[in-house]
C-alpha cells in the first residue's frame, strides 16, 4: 500500500469540532471554574470522530488540561458516550497508559471532562514499524492489566449485542437491496453474498467469543492513539466503549484499520502477538464476521449528525475486515 492509498484518519475523518469561542458562555465559565484558572490559549484536537469541543487548554497559571465538552446539539449520542467515559475512567487499572480524568461536570445538557494532558501526536501514517510495535505492546498491556474488584465495566458481549447483527440485517433485506450492500468491495462483496449463510452462522457465535474477563478498550484505531515525541510512550485515549471481554479482541478489531493505513497484513500481525496465542480459528472467524457485518451495515446508513465522514471509513473498514475473513475462511 502506497502512502497515497493510506486513509489518514486524523485529517480526513475527524468529527466537526467546536472552538472555545463556539461554546456557550455558561459552559466556558464552568470549565474555567473546574480548571481553577483562566484560559489563555487552546490547541484543538484534530483526530477522532466525535463532534463537539476537544482541545488542550493552556491556563494562566502555566498548567494545561485537555477538555471535552459535548451536548446533544452536536450529536444525540455524544453526551452518553461522555458519561460512559467518566464511568470507565474510575475503573482503569494504573498499568494502562491512559490520561487521568481530573474533573467532570454534567448539567443534564452539557457534559464536560477534564483530563491530564498527554503530550504526543497521532501516529504518522503509513504506520512505521517501531511505532506500531510500541502501540501493539500497549494493547497487550491492556489485555493483561488486572481489573479492580467491584469495577462497574459492562461486558463487551453486551455492548456489541445489537451491533454485531449486521449480516442478519442484510439477510432480511429484499434481494436487490442486499446485492447493493454486498457489492461493497467488488469481489469481496460477491464473496460475502455467496457465503452469507456462513457469515450468519459465524456472526451468531460472536457473543460467545466476545466474552472474557479482561479489560477491552473497544475502539482502538490510529486516531485513538498518541505517541510521545521520543516515541517511548504510547497513550491510549477515548475510552467510552470499554468493557470486559476476551483478551484478543482489541488486537483483532484494530488490525483492519492498521492494514488500511499501511501497517501490514492483519493475519501476520495477529499471529505474532502473544495475546493471540491459542485463539481458536473458529473464535476469530466469529469475531471478524461480527465486526465485518457491523461495518458493512453501518456504512450504508445515513451519516450521524456532526460526523459526516464516518460512513466512508466504515465502508473501508468493512472491506479490510472482509479481506482478512475471506483469507481465513
Which residue range(s) make up the domain with 14? Answer: 3-115
Over residues 136-157, the mean pLDDT reads 94
Q: Among 71, 90, 115, identify where a domain stops.
A: 115
**120 occurs within a structural domain:** no
pLDDT of 32: 98
Q: Are residues 211 and 308 in the same domain?
A: yes
- CA distances 324 to 256, 275, 291, Å, are 8, 18, 11
Ranges of H-type helices in the chain: 9-12, 25-35, 78-89, 129-144, 156-159, 166-171, 175-182, 187-194, 196-204, 206-210, 249-260, 266-271, 281-298, 310-328
pLDDT of 232: 79
Band (183; pLDDT cuts 50, 70, 90): low
pTM over 0.75: yes
Cβ atoms of 306 and 15 within 8 Å: the answer is yes
Domains in the chain: how many in total? 2
Q: What is the CATH number of the domain that holds 17?
A: 3.30.200.20
> Which residues pair with residue 257 across a beta bridge?
none
Q: What is the CATH number of the domain that holds 242?
A: 3.90.1200.10
- CA distances 169 to 113, 160, 286, 291, Å, are 36, 15, 16, 14
Q: Are residues 22 and 166 in the same domain?
A: no
Ranges of H-type helices in 64-195: 78-89, 129-144, 156-159, 166-171, 175-182, 187-194
Residue 6 has pLDDT above 50, yes or no: no
Residue 2 has pLDDT above 60, yes or no: no
Return the closest-CA partner of residue 62 out of 83, 36, 89: 36
List pLDDT tens digits, range 26-85: 999 999 999 999 999 999 876 666 778 999 999 999 999 999 999 999 888 999 999 999
Q: Are residues 182 and 317 in the same domain?
A: yes
Q: Among 93, 115, 137, identify where a domain stops.
A: 115
Place of cell 456489541: 160
**25 occurs within a structural domain:** yes
Is 200 exposed, middle or buried (CB count within 10 Å of its CB: 0-12, 13-18, 19+)? middle
Over residues 230-257, the mean pLDDT reads 95
**284 occurs within a structural domain:** yes
Place of cell 475462511: 329
Q: Are residues 184 and 95 in the same domain?
A: no
Q: Are residues 161 and 302 in the same domain?
A: yes
Residue 9 has pLDDT above 80, yes or no: no
Is 290 exposed, middle or buried (CB count within 10 Å of its CB: 0-12, 13-18, 19+)? buried
Q: Are residues 138 and 95 in the same domain?
A: no
Amino acid at each position: 500500500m502506497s502512502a497515497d492509498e493510506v486513509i489518514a484518519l486524523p485529517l480526513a475523518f475527524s468529527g466537526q469540532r467546536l472552538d472555545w469561542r463556539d461554546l456557550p458562555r455558561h459552559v466556558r465559565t464552568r470549565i474555567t471554574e473546574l480548571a481553577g484558572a483562566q484560559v489563555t490559549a487552546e490547541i484543538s484536537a484534530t483526530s477522532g470522530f466525535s463532534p463537539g469541543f476537544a482541545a488542550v487548554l493552556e491556563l494562566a497559571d502555566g498548567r494545561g488540561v485537555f477538555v471535552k465538552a459535548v451536548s446533544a446539539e452536536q450529536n444525540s449520542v455524544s453526551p452518553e458516550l461522555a458519561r460512559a467515559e467518566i464511568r470507565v475512567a474510575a475503573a482503569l487499572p494504573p498499568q494502562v497508559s491512559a490520561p487521568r480524568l481530573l474533573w467532570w461536570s454534567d448539567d443534564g445538557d452539557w457534559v464536560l471532562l477534564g483530563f491530564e494532558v498527554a503530550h504526543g501526536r497521532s501516529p504518522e501514517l503509513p504506520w512505521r514499524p517501531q511505532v506500531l510495535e510500541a502501540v501493539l505492546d500497549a494493547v497487550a498491556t491492556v489485555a493483561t492489566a488486572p481489573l479492580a474488584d467491584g469495577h462497574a465495566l459492562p461486558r463487551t458481549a453486551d455492548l456489541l449485542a445489537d451491533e454485531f447483527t449486521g449480516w442478519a440485517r442484510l439477510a432480511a433485506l429484499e434481494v436487490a437491496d442486499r446485492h447493493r450492500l454486498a457489492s461493497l468491495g467488488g469481489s469481496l462483496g460477491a464473496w460475502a453474498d455467496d457465503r452469507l449463510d456462513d457469515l450468519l452462522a459465524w456472526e451468531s457465535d460472536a457473543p460467545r467469543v466476545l466474552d472474557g474477563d479482561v479489560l477491552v478498550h473497544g475502539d482502538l484505531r490510529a486516531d485513538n492513539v498518541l505517541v510521545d515525541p521520543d516515541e517511548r510512550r504510547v497513550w491510549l485515549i477515548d475510552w467510552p466503549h470499554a468493557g470486559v471481554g476476551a483478551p484478543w479482541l482489541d488486537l483483532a478489531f484494530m488490525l483492519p484499520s492498521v492494514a488500511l493505513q499501511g501497517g501490514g497484513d492483519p493475519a501476520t500481525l495477529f499471529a505474532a502477538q502473544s495475546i493471540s496465542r491459542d485463539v481458536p480459528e473458529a473464535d476469530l472467524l466469529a469475531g471478524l464476521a461480527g465486526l465485518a457485518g457491523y461495518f458493512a451495515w453501518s456504512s450504508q446508513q445515513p451519516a450521524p449528525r456532526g460526523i459526516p465522514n464516518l460512513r466512508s471509513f466504515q465502508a473501508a473498514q468493512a472491506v479490510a475486515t472482509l479481506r482478512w475473513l475471506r483469507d481465513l475462511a
